[in-house]
Structure 1
Amino acid sequence: MKTIKYIYLFLVCLVMSCTNDEIHYEGEPYLHFVTSGSDQLIEQGSGHKDVEVKYGTISQVSGDKEVKLVLDPSSTAKEGVDFQLVKGTDNPSGKVNGVFVVRLLESGATSVAKKAVFKLQSNSIQNAIIDYQTYTMSMSLKCSATLMNANFKNTEAFWNTPNGNYDIVQSSTTNQLKVKDFLDVGVDLVLNYNPDTYVVTIPDQYTGSNYSAAPYAGAPIWVKQSTDASQVSSFNPCTKTLTVYGNYYLKGTTAAYGNKKEAFVGN
């Protein structure tokens, strides 16, 4: 019956848009993770990186109850090699939340991501049947962005002929790369990037070319960030790879080539 009440509580809130102040639940606490997971990069030369994994309970926990963070066998990351549990057990007495600490080890990190799938375990508190019951942590080595200063081959191309070679350089603007002469001679493809994740965004820019056929003859061709949210541009300095999703369009018209992929691999 408690489980039924628990389900009903969430269904009511989904329908009626309950706020936290309106929820009054006094049943079993039930365990769950706060999020479904995270992608973590371990900085080259850092030695290790400590990551907090947060969890919660549906209601306040009373009494001395232990909660453990356990590794699921489906994981590709190994405890003691790729990570350590700095804080793998917790006692959430009197609280509705808690935190574990996972230490990612640079010595085991590679440019190819490994995944640790965690679950919550307790002899005293049941796991929730709604919310996140697993937490997947992707871990990989993060090399310096300066390694992208090199010559790259355009292995998958829309704008140019495939297998062309281009120099990629760090711009004088912070956190910005330029693919030299990619759009045209003297016209670089400018890419901004997040220094923590190496996710790339494409600022709206003129390609240096104009469309030649009617009815849009003379319209300048521009490129901007892909309009498909699932297409995320990024680079990996460890493997010297860059993937760019751009939207090529005719400025001042409704015409466009659409979202296109450009892939680069360092020579």
Structure 2
Amino acid sequence: MTFSTHRRGWLRAGLASAGALVLAACDRITNSSRGVAVLQSAEGLTRRAQRLVIDRKALAREFTPADISGDFRPNGSIDPQDPDYLALKAKAFADYRLVVDGLVERPLSLSLADLRGMPARTQITRHDCVEGWSSIGKWTGARLGPLLDRAGLKPTARYIVFHCGDTLEQTLDGSGQYYESIDLIDAYHPQTILAYAMNDQPLPVAHGAPLRLRVERQLGYKHAKYVMRIEAVDDYRHLGRGNGGFWEDRGYEWYAGI
């Protein structure tokens, strides 16, 4: 084991413990402005500390085919009932188009065939859920970095937002539609892909068909499923409840690095 690997393991264990403590306390402190400020401060420290000691392009551990989990547990939405999604599903996603817009020079509308023709990556990685379980799966998909280069990010773009096809919670303010966001460091990481296949088969609905994000150095709730639109933005505070993601709007940390 190299010093770098040992350091990453130590950091992962420490941050996981800290994250568990934060999540356990969320329901007690997120209703107070002081509690929210404390969580945001801790999250910023976690992100800066991890980025300081880990190479921005360091790879998450990859495994062998023999390590693939026989039963990879699906989580969150597993069968969206949104009308637009159901219409796509009824035609086996033949009409699916991924929209790429926002702060880009060349907005895109891509079919699954288009995505399969883009620079791709296959990786066998471990999915770590904030609930405490892990599974290993094989993912194949278009690399996000080259896709963003094709769209041409404008200089003011700072974050990439993933708008999804599932409503996880009915809300009066419309914030129940799933969304997620990452910064450009994670967007351009070589293991960040838009997966259209899992374990050498088309991506199952329960795991996010037709397209899901794999951002391998972050916890599972950042791996948005049912991705319909990718938007480049300079800030995410105008989206949802302003915290950068569905679960972040409900008390989870925006940066969930492992």
Greater gyration radius: 1
Give TM-score, length-normalised by structure 2: 0.21
Give TM-score, length-normalised by structure 1: 0.21
Higher relative contact order (CA 8 A, sep 6+): 2
Which of the two has greater helix per residue? Answer: 2
Which of the two has greater strand per residue? Answer: 1
